[in-house]
Amino acid sequence: MQTKYLVSPINYTTFVISDIFNANLQIMMATSHRKYIILTIIVVLAVALFIWISQRWSVWFADHPEPQFAMADCPQCVQLTTDTTSKSRIVSWRTSTSVLWQTLVWVNCAVNDTIKTTAHYSTITSGGGAAVYYYASMSVLPNCQYSYWIESAMGDTTAHFYTKTPYEGSAKLLIIGDIQDKQYSGTDTIVRSIVALHKPDYIIQLGDLIERPHQAYWERYFSDFLSVATTIPTAAVVGNHDYHKGINPYPDIRTFYTFPYYLSSVNDVKYQECNDIDALKRHDLTGCTALDYGKVRVVFIDTKLQFFRQFSQRRRVKQLLGATRPDKYLIVAMHHAPHSSVSKFNNLIVRWLYAPIINCSNVSIVYAAHEHNTLISTPKDLGTTYYQSVQNFSAKDYTKAHGTHGRHYTILTTTTTEPISTATNAITRDTLTSITYTINHTPIDTIQIIR
């Protein structure tokens, strides 16, 4: 029987080929359409990223020119700080290049014992002008009143400044994070009220003392802390605002001369009288050191340091943590917290590099700043062996951060109980207490560690 076709074999073949072609064409068009959508998304994202980077570029990298300044002939920006131990004090100051004020006179008021020392000094030229930067150190005894002043090569003297050392082994620390005032914000009044109420022995600043490395902002800082800069030894962490911006950021050399324990802790005279900004750009000098305050040792970490330099600093931090005597409480001070109060994705490099070695080094508390809020976290909160206290003393307030907003400060104290006699020996107990207050002096959080 002969088969009958509705269409001829040739037409049927053409029909099949046409269907296949149309199907392939539709597939190609769909694929092309998907590629077009993907390409469009990529272009839109690239444009958005470009716009965002363009808007943030100056924030990240633009170092605005420093306005011209003329430093006065007599000493300015006088700062009292400590050396690497609490048994000595360092005084730093600045003058114009016209007259040298190179002699520090230090007097023990109880015995009227007068000592003169010649300061280290260097002439440093920044973007706004030149000045001479000095520092000199003196040994001190516990529980003594001292006066000091600065003499010029011409025999002129400054006003007399006074300071008192605490009892042996005791220390009350005022800890504050972020200042960076661009203009007057009432900081001086707040500082005077804190000092009048708590009478701290030392002050620790957690970085960002200044808005940017300009002499005008340094003068703003000293105006804010005029009542305590010459009387209460102050130490400061290096923060990101204390750096010059750029692809290769570097710390302001004035930070090291204002707080010269960074210089004196380096066993190399070329750094002790350093005016080599290129050396700072290479980060031969860093904001990493350890200071002792009675029964407390504070390890300072520079978290703004270039990434490839962080590894050598990590080894230094590990060494400083490991060298702490077992009878001392160990504290870490840094600008960026290992555990951010803004997002778990913030400060990942800091957490990756330093949290593990801090966690296994018997550290009691890590103090940090940067995020312009206040948040105290327990070891249970963090899954660590240490507390973390993020501080803010700045008038700036970042609402996106978790925690308590506004300006706060912390008072850290150590106390020792009377010996308790046992059958074999006498036991004393030390207590470390960290209380965070509002600037109205209302306590909001307390950490207490007894051993």
Each as own residue / partner, the long-range contacts of residues 102-107 (CB below 8 Å, 24 or more positions apart, any chain) are 102/134, 102/151, 102/152, 102/153, 103/150, 103/151, 103/152, 104/136, 104/138, 104/148, 104/149, 104/150, 104/151, 105/148, 105/149, 105/150, 105/151, 105/157, 106/138, 106/146, 106/148, 107/146, 107/147, 107/148
Residue 17 pLDDT > 70:
no
- Segment of 167-176, 239-248, 297-306 carrying the highest mean pLDDT: 297-306
Of residues 210 and 28, more confidence is placed in 210
Segment 97-125 mean pLDDT: 90
What is the pLDDT confidence band of residue 5, given thresholds at 50, 70 and 90?
Answer: very low
Residue 451 pLDDT > 90:
no
Check residue 272 and give its pLDDT.
45
Q: How far is CA 219 from CA 53, 70, 126, 157, 258, in A?
A: 32, 12, 15, 21, 12
Check residue 267 and give its pLDDT.
42
- Could you read off the pLDDT of 402-448 as tens digits, one per residue? 677 889 999 999 887 655 555 555 556 788 999 999 999 999 999 99
- Could you read off the pLDDT of 27-46 as tens digits, one per residue? 666 666 777 777 888 888 88
Q: What is the mean pLDDT of the chain?
A: 85
Check residue 271 and give its pLDDT.
41
- Could you read off the pLDDT of 371-404 as tens digits, one per residue? 988 999 999 888 999 999 999 999 887 766 667 7
Residue 275 pLDDT > 70:
no
Tokens of 330: 């160990």
Name the residue among 408, 382, 166, 406 with its Cα closest to residue 295: 166
Check residue 148 and give its pLDDT.
95
- Could you read off the pLDDT of 66-92 as tens digits, one per residue? 999 999 999 999 999 998 877 899 999
Secondary element (H or E) of residue 136:
strand 129-139
Residue 311 pLDDT > 50:
yes
According to DSSP, residue 418 is labeled P
181-203 core/surface letters (b: 16 or more CB in 10 A; e: else): beeebebbebbeebbeebebbbb
Largest Cα separation within the chain, whole Å, is 136
Residue 101 pLDDT > 50:
yes
Check residue 437 and give its pLDDT.
96
Q: Compute and round to an integer the Cα radius of gyration of the chain.
A: 30
Of residues 32 and 117, more confidence is placed in 117
Check residue 427 and give its pLDDT.
59
Tokens of 304: 């703004």
Residue 318 pLDDT > 70:
yes
Residue 234 pLDDT > 90:
yes
Segment 181-199 mean pLDDT: 93
Three-class SS of residue 30? helix
